[in-house]
Amino acid sequence: MKHLLPLLIALCAAPAPALAVDFDKTQCVAAAKPGGGFDLTCKLAQAGLLEGKFIPAPMRISYLPGGIGALAYNAFATQRPAEAQTLVAFSSGSLLNIAQGKFGPHDEADVRWVAGVAADYGVIVVAADSPFKSLKDLMAAVKADPSKVVFGAGGTVGSQDWIKAAMTARAAGVNHRNMRLVAFEGGGEALRALQGNHVQVYTGDASEMGTQLKDGASFRVLAVMSEQRLPGPLAQVPTAREAGSDLVWPIIRGFYVGPKVSDADYQAWSDLFARMLATKDYERLRIERGLYAFAMTGAELEAYVKRSVNGYRKVAEEFGLKVAPR
């Protein structure tokens, strides 16, 4: 016993490993200007964590625009890799960019994926007075003469909206290189062009269209790119599969941290989000923002991200886009 006494004293005196996460001083980085999807994602977490009393003080939101997420990804992969109190918002568009090498030398293994907190889905939209009353009408017109149907997209070649348009053209039996497409800075500009009849089709996101329709905007959603019909304002809109075309495009929103955040801190964040995602209050906040159910944290999300990036590499290859080396 006397031999064990010094060891016991030493163990009792040793400080317990402390978490570096200071939940009094958390922040979320939106990798774009205020008002976009990354901002929406940060504000959703800000509201959900505070309202559920999971953090003692409001999460601060900061903005780091550049390269549609590339600047922020590079900053946290290399320059700020150990900031345990800082989350960075991402979306499926971020994973698509990684698959195409648009984040420079970095791939999906260069950060730690904490939580996926909401889903969205692609939609195919026309103006309210469009001659296209159904997805079949649109497909027939594109197949008959692709030069007469102009797609609008919130993003350039290789973006999510561009790929949704290319998939739609392909489903109509048209090579995507023959489709006519006008790229806009974002969905808002594309919708205004649709209203002005400068483009005939917009391949956007369900959440933005749900908000537009609630506000009385005059558009017709021909189909949603989801496995099943969506609840809420788009409940009466058929899936693309129901409408005769095998088009599915899910979009997730969530958060990552830098690669040098400790296992304990990473787990603390993952556990915090798992608890938040299980609450009715969070469900209400998500629905209010027009987003759909998706809840994944920790190792499960890491595996999902890896599968998704591999899938996006295949999609990019199919459409002749540049693909990041594996």
Share of the chain above pLDDT 70, in %: 93
Range of the domain at 193: 121-249
Quick one: which of 28, 18, 31, 34 has its CA closest to 50? 28
Q: Band the pLDDT of 66: cuts 50, 70, 90.
A: confident
| Residue 43 to residue 61: CA distance in whole angstroms | 8
Domain membership of residue 4 (yes or no) is no
Domain membership of residue 74 (yes or no) is yes
> What pLDDT was estimated at residue 16?
37
Q: Which of 249, 270, 305 is the last residue of a domain?
A: 249
Same-domain pairing of 197 and 96: no
Tell me if 164 sits within 8 A of 203, measured CB to CB: yes
Q: Which tokens in the block code for residue 277?
A: 């995602």
Q: Which of 249, 283, 298 is the last residue of a domain?
A: 249
Tell me if 143 sits within 8 A of 173, measured CB to CB: yes
What's the rounded mean pLDDT across residues 283-287? 95
Q: Which tokens in the block code for residue 184?
A: 């806009």
pTM: 0.86
Q: What total number of domains does the chain contain?
A: 2
> What pLDDT was estimated at residue 13?
40
Tell me if 49 sits within 8 A of 276, measured CB to CB: yes
Pairing assessment for the beta strands 60-63 and 27-30 based on DSSP bridges: parallel
| Residue 303 to residue 231: CA distance in whole angstroms | 27
Type of residue at 76: F
